[in-house]
Structure 1
Amino acid sequence: MADHGRYHGLALELLTSALGSIGSRLIRLVLLLAAVAAASFALMAASPVDPVDAYVGGDIAAIGPEQRAQIAERWGLNDPPLERFGTWLANIARGDLGYSHTFNQPVADVIAGKFLTSLALMAVAWSLSGLIGFTLGVVAGVRRGRWADRVITWWAYTLSSAPTFWVGLLLLYAFSVSLQWTPICCAVPVGSIAGEVGLLDRLHHLLLPALTLSLVGIAPVTLHTRQAVAVAMASDYIAFARAQGERTFGLVLHHVLRNAAGPAVLLQFSSLGELFGGSVLAEQVFSYPGLGAATTAAALGQDVPLLLAIALFTTVFVYVGNQLGDLVHAWLDPRTHRAEVTA
C-alpha cells in the first residue's frame, strides 16, 4: 500500500513538472510572438515604400487620385499606425490573417500551400546536412591531425563562408546548364499541372535546391561534431577502453557517438531559422515556388498582411524546432536535463 502511494506521488510529481514545463514554454512563445509582431509591424509602418505604389507597379500613372485613395482606404492605410496595429491583432486573435494582394488569396491559404512546397525542400536539405555533417565530423574527429581531418576541415570552412545564392548559381550552371542532368527551375516540369506530376519528377526538380541548402548547412555540424569527437577521444575513459584492448571502431560506436550526437542534434534543430533564410535565396535561384519565394514576392510588393503572417509563422516554426532540439538533446545526454533541474 505504501509502495502504491509512493508511485502515485511520483507520477503526480512528474505530471506536474511536465505541465509546468509546457506552460512555461507556451508563455515564452506568446511573449516572443508579441515582440515579433510589434517589431515587424513597426518596420512595415516605417518602410519608405508605399504599399499602393508597390501594388500598382508600372501602372501607377494609369490610376487617378480617387482610385488610389480608395485602395488606401480599403487597406486601412489612412488610419494611425497604432489603430492599424490594434485592428490587425484583433483579426489575428479571431484567426483572420488577412488577404494577400500579391497572390489574390487569403494569407492563411497562401502560407499553407507554399509551406507544403517548401517543407519537402527544407526536410530533405535538413536531413542531408545533418547526416553528412555528422558523419564527416566523426571521421575528422577520429582522424584528427591527419590528411582526412585536414581535407574535411578545409572543405567545411570553405562552405561556411560561401553564400547560399553563390553556391546555388554554381550548382545550377554545372548540373543544369552544362551537364543538363537536372531541371533549370520550378518544382514541377514547365507547363505541367502540379497534381498530375509523379513523385520521381518532383524529386528530380527538388534535388538541386535541396543539395544547395544542405551543402551550406553541413559545415557547422561537421565542425562542432569534430570538436566533440576529438574531446571524447582524448578522454580518460577512452584511454581506459584502449588499455582493455578495444579497437577504434568499437570505441567510436560504444563510447563516442552518443556523446557527439547531443551537440550535433542541438545545433541541427537550432539552425532551422538559418535553413528558412537559406531557402529564400535558394528558391529565388531555382524559381522554386515555396514560402521563401513567397516572402520575396511579398517584400517586393509590400504585401504587409502576408509579410507579417510569415514573420509570425517563422517564429513559431523556429521556436518549436529549438524546443524539440532541447528535448532530443536531453534524451541523448540526461546530464543536461539534470543540470537544468538543479539550476
Structure 2
Amino acid sequence: MVRLVLWRLAFAVPLLVAVTAGMFALASASPFDPVRQYLGDRAMTTAPEVVERIRANWALDRPVMEQYATWLGNLVRGDLGESRSFHRPVLEIVAERLPWTLLATGSAIVLMLAASLVLGTLAAWKKGSWLDRVITGGAFANESAPVFWLALLAVYVFAVRLGWLPAGGLSDAAATTLDPLDVARHLVLPVVVLAISQSSWLVLYVRESVIATLREDFVTGARARGLAERTVVTRHALRAALLPFLTLLGARIPELVTGAILVETVFSWPGVASASVQAALSVDFPLLAALTLLGTIAVLLGNLLADLAYHKADPRVAA
C-alpha cells in the first residue's frame, strides 16, 4: 500500500502540472475578456487607459508562460490569488465553502452506496421477477434523466406542491444563526437528488456482478452445504462481487463532481461546486483555476482510495 501511495503521488505531480498548464493555455485562447466581464455595462464608458491599468494589475498583459510561472510560484506559497467575482481571497472562499460540499457529497455517497447495494442485490436474487423488472427498468429510466431535471422535479413536487421540504439554500431566510436541524432539512433534497442521479449504474453493475457470482463453484458449494439462500447471497456472492465494484466507484468520481455542480446550483447550496459556475460565468480565472485544481485532486484521491480499498479487501492483489 505504501508503494502504491508513493507511486500515485509521483504520478499526480506531473498530471497536476499538465492540467494547470492546459488550463492557462485555454484561458489565453478564450475569446472572453475577463476585464470587460468584470466591468460589465461600465466597459462601454470606462476609459481605455483605465481598462489597460486593470489588465496590468491582473498581469493579463504578460506572456501566458510568465503568468503561469507566477501563479505556480504563488500556489507553492499557499497564495491562490483574489477572486474577481467574490472580491475575496480564493483560499478564504474555498475554506468557507468546501465543508458544505463535503457534507452534501459525503452524505450522498453513503446513501447512494447503501441503496444501490440493496436494490442491485435484490434484483439479482429475484432475477426475472416483477421486482427485478421494476428495479432495472427504474434504473435505466433514471440513467436517461438529466440531473438538473431531477432536481427541478424534486423542487416542484416536495417544495412547491407538497411543501414538505425547503426549495434550497442552507437555512431559512429569516434565520440569524445556523440551526443543525434546519440545515438538515435543507440538506435532504440535494443529497437525495445527487444520490439518485448517480445510483443507476451502481444498481445495474451490482445486479450483473452478483448474478455472475451466483454461478461460481464456491456459491454452488455453499448451497450444497445447506446454507440459507440469504446467507449465500449476502455473505458469499455479494462479497465477491464487490471487489471490482470498488475500482469502478473510484473511476466515477468525475461524474459525481459534475452532478454536484448541477445540484448545488439548482438548490443554491453554498458549496465550491456552485461557486465554479459563478466563476465561469464571471470569467473569474483565479477562482476557476483553484476549483479546477481541487476537482482534479478529488478525482485522483478518489481513485487512490478505491485502489487502497481493493487491496485491503483482496490481499492477493498486492501479492
TM-score normalised by L of structure 1: 0.89
Distance 1:244 1:311 in 2: 54
State the shift of 1:252 in Å: 1.5
Q: How does 1:47-196 map to 2 (within 5 A)?
A: 47-193=30-176, 196=177
Contact 2:80 2:91 in 1 (8 A): yes
State the shift of 1:79 in Å: 0.8
Q: How does 1:283-294 map to 2 (within 5 A)?
A: 283-294=264-275
State the shift of 1:37 in Å: 0.6
Distance 1:56 1:246 in 2: 72
Distance 1:184 1:254, change over 3 A: closer
**Match of 1:94, as an amino acid?**
R
Structure 1 alignment gaps of length 5 or more: 1-17, 339-343
Q: For 1:196-245, what per-residue CA distance to the aligned partner results, in whole angstroms no more than 9, with x for missing partners?
A: 22111001001101111000111111111111100111112222222222
Contact 1:134 1:264 in 2 (8 A): no
Partner SS for 1:186: coil
Contact 1:165 1:282 in 2 (8 A): yes
Q: What do you get for the CA RMSD once the two structures are aligned?
A: 1.4
Instruction: Identify which of 11, 15, 37 aligns with 1:32.
Output: 15
**Match of 2:115, as an amino acid?**
I
Higher CA-based Rg: 1
**Match of 1:34, as an amino acid?**
V
Distance 1:152 1:174 in 2: 22
Q: Which residue of 1 aligns with 2:3?
A: 20
Partner SS for 1:169: helix
Contact 1:130 1:268 in 2 (8 A): no
Distance 2:245 2:142 in 1: 17
Partner SS for 2:31: coil
- Pairing 1:282–2:263 present: yes
**Match of 2:231, as an amino acid?**
G
Distance 1:333 1:158 in 2: 34
Q: Which residue of 1 aligns with 2:281?
A: 300
Structure 2 alignment gaps of length 5 or more: none
Partner SS for 2:172: coil
- Pairing 1:233–2:226 present: no
Q: Which residue of 2 aligns with 1:7?
A: none
Partner SS for 2:318: helix
Distance 2:244 2:201 in 1: 11
Instruction: Identify which of 323, 328, 333 aligns with 2:314.
Output: 333
- Pairing 1:198–2:179 present: yes
- Pairing 1:270–2:270 present: no
Distance 1:189 1:62, change over 3 A: farther
Distance 1:141 1:34 in 2: 44
Distance 1:147 1:277 in 2: 33
Contact 2:5 2:304 in 1 (8 A): no
State the shift of 1:254 in Å: 2.4
**Match of 2:86, as an amino acid?**
F
Distance 1:84 1:253 in 2: 56
Distance 1:263 1:67 in 2: 58
Distance 2:218 2:149 in 1: 44
Contact 1:258 1:332 in 2 (8 A): no
State the shift of 1:27 in Å: 0.7
Contact 1:118 1:292 in 2 (8 A): yes
Distance 1:217 1:285 in 2: 16
Q: For 1:95-120, what per-residue CA distance to the aligned partner results, in whole angstroms no more than 9, with x for missing partners?
A: 21111111111111111111111111
Q: Which residue of 1 aligns with 2:200?
A: 219
Distance 2:147 2:2 in 1: 41
TM-score normalised by L of structure 2: 0.96
Distance 1:19 1:260 in 2: 26
Distance 1:23 1:248 in 2: 43
Partner SS for 1:100: coil
State the shift of 1:330 in Å: 1.8
Distance 1:238 1:311 in 2: 45
